[in-house]
Amino acid sequence: MGFMSKKIWVAITAHKPLERIDCLVNLLRGYMEFPFTFETNIYIDYDSQDDVEILETLLSEFSKLNIQVKVASPGYEGWFLTWAHKTDLALAILNKKADYYIYTENDMLMTYDNFKYYLKWKPVLAKYELEPGFVRYEKKYNKKIPFDNYYRYSLTKETPNVWSTQGYKVPNVLVVDHSVSFFVALANPYYGAMILNQEDGDYYIRSDSYDPQKSYEKVGIRNWPIADRSSMGLAFENPPFGFEHRRCVPVRKVKDHYEILPCGLICHDDDKYTKNLLCDPDLLICCESMLTI
């Protein structure tokens, strides 16, 4: 099956969409680079229902993506809006509407390079009951600043105090590839999005991770809030022995240190978390320095 014959079903959460229309536009521009057929569903909050017409006009340039703006029912208030797509997602999966199903928050910029990386490594990692993951970052001070910015992960020993006083030992998977040294599963697999193929989708909609209440038990010590759990996919569904979750990111050696490959980084189109971290930019951990030996 050729690229153009493949189809992607997309769900996007957009709370008060006109207030952050630039983020939504940036996300959709990224999808325009994909050589696939799209069905795109944008879920907006009930209080923004009067914005549908102007939103559709503003997004008319993205006709290739076959966009539908859907107003969530009043019950999906606040962060619960991130779960408004679940019934439509289940119906799409049950009816095999697409080859891949993507959910993103409206400020997570999923690029074609990100997706090509997923396509390449999904079947390889699936042999280990793992899947390609991403590290979420923000652009600030001409650097890529990862969301987890309180410690550098050691690749050879336990990193202390990752979850309160509990440490974390980074597991890895060796692969044979000229560009990737190995994959690692970092402590926090959250990246504000999820990708499912048809097989994973069938599993997901029947799993506890698909349930807004039962999913809380899955994340354990991470204590993810309702919005974060909406994009957990199969991350915590039966990870293999030695792993706390399924999501792994690619690592390569660069001179005397190790870095996550750019394809394994996903951009949060904001800098609010970075601004809240530290006043001194020199103390911020960047993506290039977040791993140690």
The residue to which tokens 């890529």 are assigned: 144
CA angle 166-167-170, nearest 5°? 145
Which domains can be identified in the chain, with CATH numbers? 1-106+190-234 (3.90.550), 133-189+245-293 (no CATH)
pLDDT string in tens for the chain (293-residue length): 455 579 999 999 999 999 999 999 999 999 999 999 999 999 999 999 999 999 999 999 999 999 999 999 999 999 999 999 999 999 999 999 999 999 999 999 999 999 999 999 999 999 999 999 999 999 988 899 998 887 899 999 999 988 878 899 999 999 989 999 999 999 999 999 999 999 999 999 999 999 999 999 999 888 899 999 999 999 999 999 999 999 999 999 999 899 999 999 999 998 877 777 666 666 789 999 999 98
CA distance 90 to 99: 14
150 Cβ neighbours under 8 A, 6+ residues apart: none
Surface-to-core class of residue 293, CB atoms within 10 Å of its CB (0-12 exposed, 13-18 middle, 19+ buried): exposed
Q: Is the pTM of this model over 0.85?
A: yes
CA distance 68 to 260: 35
CA distance 176 to 285: 29
C-beta neighbour count of 97 within 10 angstroms: 17
